[in-house]
Amino acid sequence: MKNLDVDLHHRLGKMTLEAKFACETGGITAIFGRSGAGKTSLVNMLAGLLKPDRGRISLGGETLFDSAAGIDVPIERRRLGYVFQEGRLFPHLSVRNNLTYGLKRVPKGERRIELEQVVALLDIESLLERRPQALSGGEKQRVALGRALLANPKLLLMDEPLAALDQPRKDEILPFIEQLRDEMALPIIYVSHSMQEIVRLADTLVLMSSGRVEAVGSVEDLTSRLDLRPLTGRYEAGAVLATAIAGQDKAFGLTELRFAGGRLKVPHLNLPLGQGLRVRIRARDVSIALTPPRDTSILNMIECEVKAISEERSPQVDLQLDAGGAAIWARITARSCQALGLRPGLKVFALIKSVAIDRQSLGRRDQAARFLSEDE
Amino acid sequence: MFELTALESEAIRLSLRVAFWSVTASLPFGLAAAWLLQRYDFYGKTLLNGIIHLPLVLPPVVVGYLLLILLGRRGPLGSWLYETFGISLPFTWEGAALAAAVMAFPLMVRAIRLSIETIDQNLETAARTLGASRLSVFLTITLPLIAPGILAGCVLAFARSLGEFGATITFVSNIPGETRTLPLALYSLIQTPDGETGALRLAVLSVILSLAALGASEIIERRLRARLID
């Protein structure tokens, strides 16, 4: 755990970047925002690639930048690993020499991460003697990740490391990042515009919009806040639930999850009983009923209370529902909303199709504990 | 069948020596100039660029004459060199190397500059995030990546130096054994009666020499590229 304290001002063309926030960088901290929100600029300032007009950056008590005190630690002495979107492997060096480029520059006594460990973690043994040109996109990104790790950084910065890859390649890399988080205990700052990736990986979320940091908090809390909805995105709208595996239905290939508001049936997951798991439920996959419907294919009916209704003048409205303390979002037509007479405080049933909860909506495994302890 | 006469082997050895030192001595300056012009913006950049490229457009005789004025015994720089170090450049083979270097300099700078331009500077920043200092980045990333360009610049400069005539004859004259390089020896033979056969032989030698230089550079460059591309 390192405390990251940032207070920066910088003009970027017409936009002014103003980032003021502090957070504990344990696990993965995601910086989320649309393209042009200033995410990359912010990370570049942390790494020292871009010099802010004024402000301060400190990490774990060490000042990296302070315009007032005239401190600007050079890039190579900040010891922050950086995984770029395009990999940036050195074309004239073999994969092995790319990997050890940073490692060689770390004093022997300060090396916590060694070559064998990273090679095993990223499964790149067979690539070691190759040239970067002979690697696929996914392999390049794995090597770039390993190279940054081997520089034994205090913090790892990842700027949309998956954005240049297609979905199969993304699925190839994601498990490695998860392993990194769980096994290396290295704080990571992860820039992304994909809520899917963030839910799967991150613990803390820093929300950015047109150059400003709008909110900082846990992924569960920020995705369930109505006022941040315009930032988390309309299409992406949904809630994140902390759950745990409660049972397996082998005959039908279903797994049952417990969460604060009840139980959810999802397609089979090969995880042990009691294992924590984060689930993202998209607002468009949730419908509403006033009474529990009979003769329906829907397996998940969660009793909830309407907390808030978004006031957008559009054919669709978003409902924020409270299920035993957990937030669930539902997107329905304005017409249905009126027909059912929905209003805050009303008891309703949220209907969620099991098949709508796919692998990609499933995230981090621990951290579900706090909801569950209240549950029992 | 093709025995070299004393005059021919002397001219060849002298030409190679002049060209070798012309390239070797100007390479650090060529690299620095290319780096400066490609990576930095500063006051007077256009002027510096102009001065470096001047020998490309100026008649070689003018360059030789300017060198003579500047570096002659009584020239501002020449007198200082002579009094301080006892060095005198006019009428020596070192002077011939200098004349050749000045004439070849723009070609070398252009080739190196082009190769610096093609480098992805993002690779250099990536290296710095991995803990490498600026100098270390230059030595381990930049230099290996521009090596083919440096080689191309050196070959061009070497070829240009081998063929240098106007500035050389003006600055260091045409002294057998000291400054009579291949082109100058060829010129002398044309001026003498019955020298045609000798002149032709020298012309053939020049062609062979140039082809050998090109061939060698081709081989080295292919190796360098192979390391980059695999």
Give the CATH number for residue B75.
1.10.3720.10
Closest residue in chain A to residue B228, using alpha carbons only = A92
Indicate the pLDDT class of residue B25, thresholds 50, 70 and 90. very high
Sign of CA dihedral A144, A148, A149, A154: negative
Residue A112 lies in a domain: yes
Is the predicted pLDDT of residue B80 greater than 80, yes or no?
Answer: yes
Is the predicted pLDDT of residue B32 greater than 50, yes or no?
Answer: yes
Residue A209 lies in a domain: yes
Cβ-based contacts of A148 with chain B (< 8 Å)? 129-130
**Residues A212 and A330 both lie in one domain:** no
Cβ of B132 within 8 Å of Cβ of A84? The answer is no
The angle formed by the CA atoms of residues A108, A110 and A115, to the nearest 5 degrees, is 65
Per the structure, the complete domain to which residue A144 belongs is given by 3-223
Q: Stretch B53-57: mean pLDDT, rounded?
A: 92
**Residues A195 and A331 both lie in one domain:** no
Residue A232 lies in a domain: no
Name the region of A295 (left: φ>0; alpha: ψ -120 to 50; beta: rest): left
Residue B1 lies in a domain: no
Beta partners for residue A277, in sequence order: A243
Is the predicted pLDDT of residue B229 greater than 80, yes or no?
Answer: no
**Residues A219 and A335 both lie in one domain:** no
Alpha-helical segments (H) within A180-314: 195-201, 219-223, 229-232
Indicate the pLDDT class of residue B84, thresholds 50, 70 and 90. confident
Q: What distance in Å separates residue B133's CA from the closest CA in chain A? A: 6
Q: Stretch B54-72: mean pLDDT, rounded?
A: 93
Q: Which of A46, A76, A93, A141 is most worth mutating to test chain B (most B CB atoms within 10 A of its CB)?
A: A76
Residue A233 lies in a domain: no
Compute the half-sphere exposure of residue A319: CA atoms within 13 Å on the CB side of its CA. Answer: 33
Cβ-based contacts of B120 with chain A (< 8 Å)? 88
Q: What is the mean pLDDT of chain B?
A: 90
**Residues A252 and A361 both lie in one domain:** yes
Is the predicted pLDDT of residue B156 greater than 50, yes or no?
Answer: yes
**Residues A252 and A127 both lie in one domain:** no
Q: Is B129 on the interface with A (CB under 8 A)?
A: yes
Could you tell me which of A282, A314, A286, A280 has the C-alpha nearest to residue A298?
A286
Residue B215: the pLDDT is 87
Give the CATH number for residue A245.
2.40.50.100
Q: Is the ipTM here above 0.85?
A: no
The CA distance from A167 to A196, in Å, is 12
Q: Is B227 on the interface with A (CB under 8 A)?
A: yes
Residue B164: the pLDDT is 92
**Residues A252 and A204 both lie in one domain:** no
Alpha-helical segments (H) within chain A: 39-47, 75-78, 95-103, 115-122, 137-150, 167-179, 195-201, 219-223, 229-232, 334-339, 369-375
Residue B83 lies in a domain: yes
CA B34 → CA B38, B103, B105, B111, distances in Å? 6, 16, 10, 9
| Contact assessment for residue A81 and residue A47, using Cβ atoms and an 8 Å cutoff | no
**Residues A94 and A39 both lie in one domain:** yes
Residue A84: the pLDDT is 92
Is the predicted pLDDT of residue B51 greater than 90, yes or no?
Answer: yes
Pick the last residue of a domain from A223, A252, A278.
A223
3 state DSSP class of A327? strand
Cβ of A88 within 8 Å of Cβ of B230? The answer is no
Classify strands A28-32 and A276-282 as parallel, antiparallel or unpaired: unpaired
The CA distance from B230 to B227, in Å, is 6
Q: What distance in Å separates residue A163's CA from the closest CA in chain B? A: 18
Cβ of A92 within 8 Å of Cβ of B145? The answer is yes
**Residues A261 and A186 both lie in one domain:** no
Give the CATH number for residue A36.
3.40.50.300
Sites in chain A below the pLDDT cut of 70: 1, 226, 233-237, 312-313, 358-376
What is the DSSP code string of B112-170?
HHHHHHTS-HHHHHHHHHTT--HHHHIIIIIHHHHHHHHHHHHHHHHHHHHH--HHHHH
3 state DSSP class of A323? strand
Could you tell me which of B110, B115, B114, B91 has the C-alpha nearest to residue B30?
B110
| Contact assessment for residue A228 and residue A319, using Cβ atoms and an 8 Å cutoff | no
Indicate the pLDDT class of residue B29, thresholds 50, 70 and 90. very high
Which structure tokens are listed for A12?
Answer: 């970027």
Residue A234: the pLDDT is 53
Residue A324: the pLDDT is 87
Residues counted in chain B:
230
The CA distance from B123 to A87, in Å, is 9
Beta partners for residue A206, in sequence order: A31, A216
Cβ of B131 within 8 Å of Cβ of A47? The answer is no
Among the partner-chain residues B120, B130, B230, the one whose CB lies closest to the CB of A102 is B130
Residue B122: the pLDDT is 92
Cβ of A88 within 8 Å of Cβ of B227? The answer is no
Count up the domains in chain B and report the number. 1
**Residues A256 and A196 both lie in one domain:** no
Name the region of A73 (left: φ>0; alpha: ψ -120 to 50; beta: rest): beta
Residue A228 lies in a domain: no
**Residues A294 and A202 both lie in one domain:** no
Residue A274 lies in a domain: yes
Count up the domains in chain A and report the number. 2
**Residues A151 and A111 both lie in one domain:** yes
Which structure tokens are listed for A134?
Answer: 């002979």
Residue B150 lies in a domain: yes
Cβ-based contacts of A81 with chain B (< 8 Å)? 129-130
**Residues A24 and A133 both lie in one domain:** yes
Indicate the pLDDT class of residue B124, thresholds 50, 70 and 90. very high
Q: Give me the sheet containing A15-24, strands edge to edge.
A: A71-72, A62-66, A54-59, A3-12, A15-24, A212-218, A204-209, A28-32, A188-192, A155-159, A80-83
Residues counted in chain A:
376
Burial of B199 (0-12, 13-18, 19+ CB in 10 A): middle
Per the structure, the complete domain to which residue B165 belongs is given by 6-229
Token pair 């393209």 is found at A35
| Contact assessment for residue A326 and residue A372, using Cβ atoms and an 8 Å cutoff | no
Which structure tokens are listed for B175?
Answer: 């002294």
Residue B230: the pLDDT is 47
| Contact assessment for residue A306 and residue A348, using Cβ atoms and an 8 Å cutoff | yes
Among the partner-chain residues B123, B125, B229, the one whose CB lies closest to the CB of A90 is B123
| Residues of A engaging B, defined by a Cβ cutoff of 8 Å | 47, 49, 74-77, 79-82, 84, 86, 88, 90-92, 101-102, 105-106, 130-131, 133-134, 147-148, 151
